[in-house]
Amino acid sequence: MNIESFAGYKMIKKVNMLRENDLYPFFRSIEDSEGTVVKVDGKEQIMIGSNNYLGLTHHPHVIEAAKNAIDIYGTGCTGSRFLNGNLSIHEELEERLANYVGHEKALVFSTGMQTNLGTISGICGPKDCLLFDSENHASLIDASRLALGPTFKYKHNNMESLEQVLADNINRFNNVWIVTDGIFSMTGELAKLPEVVELAQKYGAHVYNDDAHGIGVIGRQGRGTMTHFDVTDKVALNMGTFSKAFASIGGVISGSAEMIDYVKHTARSFMFSASMPPSAVATVAACLDVIESDTTLHDRLWRNVELMRDGFRDIGFYTYNSQTPIIPIFIGDETKALQVTNYLKDNGVFATPVLPPAVPKGEALIRTSYMASHSTEELTKVLEVLAKAKKEFDIPGLFH
């Protein structure tokens, strides 16, 4: 195969077509950022396409902690935790995170994706199986491909479908793992975690909760969907990421001490990757400081979410009944979603389109998300621009 032949691939043809028509919405180069406002092509845009839910990427305490860590430990660990890259601050952070989410032990990875890849491939052997929500995140799907046991899917958030798959497989495998997102990243929809754990207990299965968009955000002091639903002791493994509410990069898995010790010694993406850099570790710890000390932080976040949710309802958008800071706007047509994204950009708003196969065909959307640090003035402007976009592009509502 000649390298030039990739130009003929369907994906590359589509990318080139979008570029030629000025509709390519990806890899936008951000030249400057103040958290809620970014500069692209020399123009300021209000950022509503970020996962910076608590707005902590520019918090003075967080920035200072990251700088101090570099002064003490340098810029990187130059090795895996398993060998030479295990710092005392890694272990201190793990203890704090375990206490924060309510589990006995925690283990931090260099990225969220590595957390899923390493943990799931480690816990699912050839005589085990995984039961997946059909809308689970791509990192979970890739993790299932590394697992030695098979994966069976159940219909999205459909407990009848889950119970059927459980009944069909519970006696065929040693360990059955129900794997679900806590908050589904495209629609902002909450998993039916109480029903999931109830079925797990009924059939003797284990629950793995990917709380990438829940940790730091939902539940008391942002302790996650387990706390939100009061099922912490019924979730065997809980995964979280630091690239969202925790203003950094990395991931964490938590559970019983025995389970985490097993993951620690079997997860290849943990054992064979360089450890989280000191500045990233210190950033997460500093975010925990802010979360635990600033009692208004989550109030500001949910006030902004409510403002936007009410505003979208008044405009007439369909937002999938989101209960989280992720509020998607249903567009439907793929080309229209790209055109709307361009319109928003031209009017000072940075948002991101979500296209098939990330969503079903005919269900393209604009994914918007909100921060505790957004000002009312910024969000009011966003609503004004989106109201004009709805008329300009005849964006459908719930009934169309």
User: At residue 400, what is the residue type?
Assistant: H
* Catalytic annotation, pick one of 244, 298, 374, 390: 244
- Picking from 388, 330, 384, 318, the residue whose alpha carbon sits closest to that of residue 354 is 330
CA 82, 87, 92 angle in degrees (round to 5)?
A: 110
d(CA 265, CA 267): 6
199 SS3 class: helix
* Catalytic annotation, pick one of 90, 206, 213, 298: 213
- Picking from 19, 355, 362, 18, the residue whose alpha carbon sits closest to that of residue 186 is 355
User: Does the active-site annotation cover 105?
Assistant: no
Answer whether 85's CB lies under 8 Å from 79's CB.
yes
d(CA 332, CA 326): 18
Bridge pairing between strands 176-181 and 129-133: parallel
Answer whether 155's CB lies under 8 Å from 161's CB.
yes
DSSP code of residue 327: E
d(CA 129, CA 123): 9
Helix ranges, 204-277 (H): 225-229, 257-264, 268-271
* Catalytic annotation, pick one of 50, 121, 144, 185: 185
The answer to whether the peptide bond before residue 60 is cis (omega within 30 degrees of 0) is no
User: Does the active-site annotation cover 206?
Assistant: no
User: Does the active-site annotation cover 273?
Assistant: no
Q: Give all strands (DSSP E) within 148-213, no chain letters.
A: 151-154, 176-181, 206-210
d(CA 267, CA 311): 45
How far is the CA of 98 from the CAs of 93, 223, 260, 261, in angstroms?
A: 9, 10, 11, 13
Whether the CA torsion 22, 27, 32, 38 is positive or negative: it is positive
Q: Which residues are catalytic?
A: 185, 213, 244
